[in-house]
Amino acid sequence: MKKQVPLFIVFFIGLLGFLQYFITGPLSKSVYTLLLEWFQGVQGMAIIMAVISLTRRHFTNVRKGKNVFYSLVTLISLYGMMILGIFFGIGKGSIFDKIYEFVMVPLNATTFSLLSFYMASAAYRAFRARSVESALLLLSAFVLMIGLTSFGDVLSESLPYFAQWVLDVPNLAAQRGITLGIALGILATSLKIMLGIERSWLE
């Protein structure tokens, strides 16, 4: 029973979602809305458990003296924002909103901008002509980088067209091949779970 009930629920909900995709009409739409509402409910409950997990982990860190500074920053930020939001509101111009706008958003932007530096270091490693394949990669990357900038147009009128062709034909062909495999993989995984063949989550 301990295994059969969850397997049945998975099969039933999976089948419901599957049929809903193909069936038209208001009933199908209401089933979809209901499933989404249930998911929202589950998500809401899970957030409580997630916050408990975060608190416990960092509280343990502080108690054990491990990465105390980082853990304290996390705990103070988490509960500080919570208190500010509950007692002083989250509307435009509130302290909560200001911290979000002047601390959170710039921090996010800073982390995102680090990407450009990482791209340079990754590109340096990737574009070394060690084999025929990597030489081809280097060549196509070079053509694309030059061709898709205004500099490419100055060098030759046909270079931007060639760069676009590389993107639209060989690149797209490879992408479609991968997409095809992914679609089958998704289908296989869904069926395996629905039919109870893949049950590593239930062992």
Partner 1 sequence: MEIGIDIQKLSVLISVIIYTFLLLYFISKARKGEKLFLRKIPGIEAVDEAIGRATEMGRSILYVPGLSTIDDVATIASLNILSRVAKKAGEYETDIIVPNRNPVVYTVAKEVIKQAYTSIGRPDLFKEDSVFYVTDSQFGYAASVCGLMVREKTATNFFMGMFWAESLLLAETGTSTGAIQIAGTDAITQLPFFVTSCDYTLIGEEFYAASAYLSGEPVLVSTIKAQDVMKLIIGFLLILGGFLGLIGKSYILNFIFPK
Q: Is residue 70 involved in binding partner 1 (CB under 8 A)?
A: yes
The piece of 20-28, 91-99, 147-155, 160-168 that touches partner 1 (CB under 8 A) is: 20-28
Q: How far apart are CA 77 and CA 59, in angstroms?
A: 13
**Least distance to partner 1 from the beta carbon of 71, Å?**
11
Radius of gyration of the chain (CA): 26
In this structure, the number of other CB atoms found within 10 A of the CB of residue 36 comes to: 10
Minimum CB–partner distance for residue 101 and partner 1 (Å): 14
129 interacts with partner 1 by CB under 8 A: no
> Per CB under 8 A, does 139 bind partner 1?
no
CB-count burial class (<10 Å; 0-12, 13-18, 19+) for 6: middle
- Quickly count: other Cβ atoms within 10 Å of residue 71's Cβ: 19
Closest approach of partner 1 to the CB of residue 98, in Å: 17
The nearest distance, CB 162 to partner 1, in angstroms, is: 20
The residue within the footprint of partner 1, chosen from 7, 11, 16, 28 (CB under 8 A), is: 28
Q: How far apart are the C-alpha atoms of 123 and 107, rounded to whole Å? A: 25
Encoded tokens for 27: 């009933």
Binding partner 1 by CB under 8 A: which of 12, 39, 102, 151? 39
Nearest to 193 by CA among 2, 38, 1, 15: 15
Q: Give the whole-angstrom CA distance, residue 154 versus residue 149.
A: 9
Count how many residues are written for the chain. Answer: 203
**Does residue 198 interact with partner 1 by CB under 8 A?**
yes
Q: Are 124 and 137 in contact (CB under 8 A)?
A: no
- The minimum distance between CB 163 and partner 1, in angstroms, equals 16
Name the site residues for partner 1 (rule: CB under 8 A). Answer: 18, 21-28, 39, 42-43, 46-47, 49-51, 53-54, 56-57, 60, 67, 70, 104, 107-108, 111-112, 114-115, 118-119, 121-123, 125-126, 175, 178-182, 184-193, 195, 197-198, 200-203
